[in-house]
Amino acid sequence: MAGEADASQAKGALDGIRVLACTQIVAGPFTGVVLSDFGAEVVKLEPLEGEAYRASGAVIPNEGKRFQSLNRGAKSLAIDLGTPEGREAVHRLIPGFDVIIINYRPGVPERLGLDYETLAALHPGLIYCSITGFGEEGPWADRGATDLVASAYAGLIAGDEKIHPDGSPEQMTPAISDYVTGLACAASIVAALYHRKETGKGQRIDAALLRSALAIQDFYVMRQDVTDVLLRDPMLEGVRKLRAAGGTYQDVLDARRAYRWAGAGPPRLYYTGYNCADGSIVLGCLTQATRAGARKVLGMTHDESDDEGFDPRLPENVEKVSRWKEDVAAKFREKPVAYWLEVFGREGVPIAPVQLPEELSDDPQVAALGAMVDFDHPVTGPQRVVGPITRMSETPTRAYRPAPALGEHSDEVLAMGGFSPEEIAALRQQGRVV
Amino acid sequence: MAEQPHHPESRGPLDGVRVLAATQIVAGPFAGVVLSDLGAEVVKLEPPQGEGYRNSGSVVPGESKRFQSLNRGSKSLAVDLASEDGRALVQRLVPGFDVFLTNYRPGVLRRMGLDYDTLAALNPGLVYCTISGFGEVGPWAGRGATDMVAQAYSGLLAMADKVGPDGEPQQASPAISDYTTALACTTSICAALYERKESGLGQRIDGVLIRSGLAIQDFYVMREPVTDAVLRDDMVARVNEIRARGGDYREVTEARSNARFAAAGPQRLYYTGYSASDGQIVLGCLTQATRDGARRVLGMTEDVTDDDGYDPNDPENAAKVVRWKAQIADLIQAQPVQYWLDAFIAEGVPVSPVHIPEEMSDDPQIEALGVMVDLEHPVTGPQRVVGPVTRLSRTPSRAQGPAPALAQHTAEVLRAAGVSDEEIAALRERGVVR
């Protein structure tokens, strides 16, 4: 394993870039992971007791696996921003950084002296990236948001159609809005750095979970009149009536699903999951060629759903498709997963076993990609973490180090910011720094 | 609506960057959208009959809403790459581009003369980004993959924990692997361009759907033996037992979610969805302060899940949580959505209605943020699209325009590369370009 350890010692694309990460939970920390994998030095600014997420699901106090996974590659600087000395110390450090990322609640950056105006005045080249749930304007701007709340607001939860046995909406996992926002910020920050190379000027980046969640549902959210009069508008009208009549969540989802399937084109016999004799697989056919391959393997010669003129919306065809689907499901149950992988693989039909995320750390394909990296954490010992989001040939992406222990790099970062050993000792003595 | 940037004269951070995009379906095109929103000129290279996705769920032939949403901001250049003349023509264009972005399969790229070695030889400064399902090495390398297949392989499907009516695995929606890979590639392309400002050299970037799938499930995939001994290993062993005796998918996902919920502790009552009398809401409490607020609103004085020493794994406590959840569900059912929004918001509790994505194009918060942009499509007329993933203050991100009609910019792009009008006419005559 440890694909990264073998990588050349070439520098990452963002070598020399310094990022101050005032981040918590998932979205901000994930931005930090991505930037650090490109070679940026990411310094996580933590309160003296540590970011609260350190304790989330922690078996060893303050060293939870979630925190360690989402803060790998960072250094830890622990300063008490509740005190004037602490805020002053951070302001002194700001000119030494290129980027600051903040995903605190609206209003908190101002209270901590980390608002855009203050920091931009200290350092005009600073790229300031703010992450909020609902953005900087509008009736919901000041509200706290977590992934679930932003995802529900944005339509992601209903779009995913997961429903609890008691009929209530269920969370989508992983925390998609958080991760997508983390990536959107990383992309925007690097674009701003690219621009700064020429102008020397920094700027402000506003990211909102809500905005990113819409971006990944783009064509469901988009309005296009010629299509919408046929499909979307009648569906929405139906949903409104259902709600007014006290219809259940299931009713609403059913109404939307019928709309979605009507628009989806050829029925989804070969872009769906099936149970086999000893586990489950999915087929992922999106083209007529791969669907034809699937039909050949399964002996579904009677399935005419790709024939010209076949209208999947006709009731008798809906009936036929559901019968064909039963045929396919019965076929799959006859043989084990390995058999189906083999025969579909041979026909070039997209197929995969349905694996648990917990199994992937030891998967041979993942090992071949070098996507897992082995580390030794200073507190909890050996660990294997998920590596960078992409591979780059000349400026390799690389997981540089495990998540830091609380305050592990306070001295180093302060010294780099021009603080003398005496000053650092005094700050520590006063309890401003850990 | 249509809140495009306030300073129309200022350009995006990638102004001047030219991207040649041999892309299809979702992952490649979405990377193109993000790059174009950041100011790059994205030229989509299409076969003369157009990308296949132009007809996915289309009401107007060749102009599906999906295609238009995922290709907005780009230009269309239609060239027949099956002909030698077409390949030669594209190779002539390559030196004029900064980035080549593709999610075609490796074999197809070689056949079309668009492989890395060919293009890097023509333009050493080219940033060449490929997107594939399983990467270029390992036992699954080169296999065709679509989002569904990559989701199943990387654990995302089991993570989403959706079981169909016949016990089969169901897709998580939207196509998460595609979208995250697109954002990962965008970030990497920006990083490569940034680095190129100094080195003058391009490089190769490999985006892989299963790699991105792992990145957004980081802590579920991560191995950390101390924690895993308590939480992960037993679950994986149980799942393997279930599979060995031919247990079905539902049993597998239940074994996994039981273990996960046991580890997640008290947040389940206040980080979940509920049905109100006329619709649904979610609560998104991740801190004790917000959970306390929720308890106050709901009068849940006897709920002790946040008390010191509370053990969520004690079966007696687990039974209590089920009772409390039913109690909360009854309470919330008794009032309409608006009542609960007002009550929870007054206490600072993260809460949201559960919207469906199709409602978001007219939402007041979305309007305040200026997320939606009104455009006029040359074929299908007025439309409203989801705008950029973030907002930048100095170099605004901006939806550059609607998706192109097929071949709309062929002549423009060829002229910019010095191809004469006579040559263009001759190429068109011979069916090499459209």
Whether residues A207 and A325 share a domain: the answer is no
Residue owning tokens 């459209």: B434
Order across the sheet with B351-353: list the strands: B271-276, B279-284, B351-353
Q: At residue B265, does pLDDT exceed 60?
A: no
Looking at the DSSP bridge assignments, the partners of residue B311 are none
Residues of chain A contacting residue B125, judged by C-beta atoms under 8 Å apart? none
Q: A222 vs B69: CB contact, 8 Å cut-off? A: yes
Residue A11 placed within a domain = no
Place B262 in a pLDDT band, splitting at 50, 70 and 90.
low
Q: Per the structure, how many domains does chain B have?
A: 3
Q: Name the residue in chain B with its Cα closest to that of A351.
A: B149
Q: What pLDDT does residue B3 have?
A: 45
Residue A362 placed within a domain = no
Q: What pLDDT does residue A258 have?
A: 81
Whether residues B253 and B174 share a domain: the answer is no
Q: What is the token pair recorded at B392? A: 């930048």
Q: At residue B92, does pLDDT exceed 90?
A: yes
**A245 touches B at CB < 8 Å:** no
The pLDDT tens digits of the residues spanning B123-151 come to 999 999 999 999 989 999 988 889 999 99
Place B1 in a pLDDT band, splitting at 50, 70 and 90.
very low
Neighbours of B95 (CB within 10 A): 13
Rounded Cα distance between B407 and B51, Å, is 11
Whether residues A38 and A184 share a domain: the answer is yes
Residue B1 placed within a domain = no
Residue A172 is nearest to which of B59, B172, B271, comparing CB atoms? B172
- Secondary structure (DSSP) of A346-377: HTT--EEE---GGGGGG-HHHHHHT-EEEEEE
Q: What residues 374-393 of chain A have any CB closer than 8 A to a CB of chain B?
A: 377, 380-393
Residues of chain A contacting residue B60, judged by C-beta atoms under 8 Å apart? 226-227
Whether residues B12 and B46 share a domain: the answer is yes
Residue B307 placed within a domain = yes
Whether residues B117 and B211 share a domain: the answer is yes
Residues of chain A contacting residue B66, judged by C-beta atoms under 8 Å apart? 219
- C-alpha distances (whole Å) from A213 to each of A184, B386, B390 are 11, 10, 11
Whether residues A190 and A321 share a domain: the answer is no
Q: B219 vs A69: CB contact, 8 Å cut-off? A: yes
Task: Write down which residue in B362, B395, B417 finishes a domain.
Answer: B362
Residue A280 is nearest to which of B168, B226, B231, comparing CB atoms? B168
Rounded Cα distance between B123 and B119, Å, is 6
Whether residues A50 and A190 share a domain: the answer is yes
pTM: predicted TM-score of the whole model, two decimal places: 0.93
Task: Write down which residue in B333, B362, B391 finishes a domain.
Answer: B362
Q: At residue B264, does pLDDT exceed 70?
A: no
Compute the average pLDDT of residues B259-269: 69
Whether residues A194 and A143 share a domain: the answer is yes
Whether residues B201 and B110 share a domain: the answer is yes
Place B8 in a pLDDT band, splitting at 50, 70 and 90.
low
Residue A282 placed within a domain = yes
Interface confidence, given as ipTM, is 0.93
Whether residues A45 and A122 share a domain: the answer is yes
Whether residues B16 and B152 share a domain: the answer is yes
Cβ(B373)–Cβ(A211) below 8 Å:
no
Q: What is the token pair recorded at A237? A: 């009208």
Residues of chain A contacting residue B199, judged by C-beta atoms under 8 Å apart? 394
Whether residues B276 and B304 share a domain: the answer is yes
Rounded Cα distance between A132 and A154, Å, is 14
Place B267 in a pLDDT band, splitting at 50, 70 and 90.
low
Q: Which CATH number covers residue B108? A: 3.40.50.10540
Residue owning tokens 């159609």: A161
Q: B52 vs A290: CB contact, 8 Å cut-off? A: no
Residue A250 placed within a domain = yes
Residue B434 placed within a domain = no
Q: What pLDDT does residue B313 have?
A: 76
Name the residue among A78, A3, A12 with its Cα closest to residue A45.
A78
Q: At residue B416, does pLDDT exceed 60?
A: yes
Q: Which CATH number covers residue B282? A: 3.30.1540.10
Q: What pLDDT does residue B26 have?
A: 96
Cβ(B388)–Cβ(B372) below 8 Å:
no
Cβ(B285)–Cβ(B350) below 8 Å:
yes
Give the angle subtended at the CA of A180 by the CAs of A177 and A182, to the nearest 5°: 105
Residue A376 placed within a domain = no
Rounded Cα distance between A143 and A426, Å, is 38
Whether residues A210 and A265 share a domain: the answer is no
The alpha-carbon gap from B374 to the nearest alpha carbon of chain A, in Å, equals: 9
Cβ(A208)–Cβ(B54) below 8 Å:
no
Non-local (6+) Cβ contacts of A374 within 8 A are A1, A2, A5, A382, A383, A384
Whether residues B148 and B198 share a domain: the answer is yes
Whether residues B60 and B144 share a domain: the answer is yes
- C-alpha distances (whole Å) from B315 to each of B266, B268, B329 are 14, 16, 21
Task: Write down which residue in B327, B362, B397 finishes a domain.
Answer: B362
Q: Tell me, what amino acid is at B248?
A: D
Write down the mean pLDDT value for chain A: 92
Whether residues A205 and A271 share a domain: the answer is no
Residue B89 placed within a domain = yes
Whether residues B192 and B291 share a domain: the answer is no
Whether residues A321 and A301 share a domain: the answer is yes
Residues of chain B contacting residue A179, judged by C-beta atoms under 8 Å apart? 180, 215-216
Cβ(A157)–Cβ(B354) below 8 Å:
yes
Q: Per the structure, how many domains does chain A have?
A: 2
**A261 touches B at CB < 8 Å:** no
Compute the average pLDDT of residues B231-240: 92
Residue B322 placed within a domain = yes
Residue A119 placed within a domain = yes
The pLDDT tens digits of the residues spanning B271-292 come to 999 999 989 999 999 889 999 9
Name the residue among B223, B130, B229 with its Cα closest to residue A1.
B223
**Residue range of the domain that includes A82:** 18-215+395-429
Rounded Cα distance between A162 and B173, Å, is 10
Cβ(A249)–Cβ(A169) below 8 Å:
yes
* Residue to test with chain A: of B190, B261, B278, most A Cβ within 10 A: B190
Q: What pLDDT does residue B256 have?
A: 92
Looking at the DSSP bridge assignments, the partners of residue A18 are A41
Q: What is the token pair recorded at B286? A: 């991740």
Residue owning tokens 């997107």: B131
Residue B3 placed within a domain = no
Residues of chain B contacting residue A369, judged by C-beta atoms under 8 Å apart? 135, 137-138, 208, 210-211
- C-alpha distances (whole Å) from A319 to each of A87, A325, B166 are 67, 10, 16
Q: Name the residue in chain A with its Cα closest to that of B150.
A: A352
Q: What pLDDT does residue A260 have?
A: 81
Q: Name the residue in chain B with its Cα closest to that of A152.
A: B354
CA atoms in the 13 A half-sphere facing the CB of A145: 32
Q: What pLDDT does residue B309 have?
A: 85
**A410 touches B at CB < 8 Å:** no
Residue owning tokens 């600014």: A45
Name the residue among B97, B94, B39, B37 with its Cα closest to residue B71.
B37
3-state helix, strand, coil in chain A (%, to 5): 45, 15, 40
Whether residues B229 and B173 share a domain: the answer is no
B326, with CB counted inside 10 A (0-12, 13-18, 19+), is exposed
Place B246 in a pLDDT band, splitting at 50, 70 and 90.
confident
Q: B195 vs A290: CB contact, 8 Å cut-off? A: no
Rounded Cα distance between A328 and B32, Å, is 37
Residue owning tokens 């060919």: B118
Whether residues B35 and B118 share a domain: the answer is yes
Whether residues A45 and A181 share a domain: the answer is yes
Whether residues B124 and B194 share a domain: the answer is yes
Residue A386 placed within a domain = no
Residue owning tokens 């074999």: B107
Q: Name the residue in chain B with its Cα closest to that of A202.
A: B394
Q: What pLDDT does residue A244 have?
A: 84
Compute the average pLDDT of residues B73-90: 96
- Secondary structure (DSSP) of B171-235: --SS-HHHHHHHHHHHHHHHHHHHHHHHH---EEEEEEHHHHHHHTTHHHH-B-HHHHHHHTHHH
**Residue range of the domain that includes B396:** 8-215+371-429
Q: Name the residue in chain B with its Cα closest to that of A387.
A: B215
Residues of B marked active site are found at: 178
Whether residues A95 and A192 share a domain: the answer is yes
DSSP 3-state assignment of B9?
coil
Whether residues A280 and A344 share a domain: the answer is yes
Residue A209 placed within a domain = yes
Q: What pLDDT does residue B244 have?
A: 82
What's the full length of chain B, in residues? 434
Element (H, E) at A206: strand A203-208
A351-353 and A279-283 as β-strands: parallel, antiparallel, unpaired? Answer: antiparallel
Give the angle subtended at the CA of B312 by the CAs of B306 and B315, to the nearest 5°: 135
Residue ranges in chain A whose pLDDT is less than 50: 1-7
Residue B2 placed within a domain = no
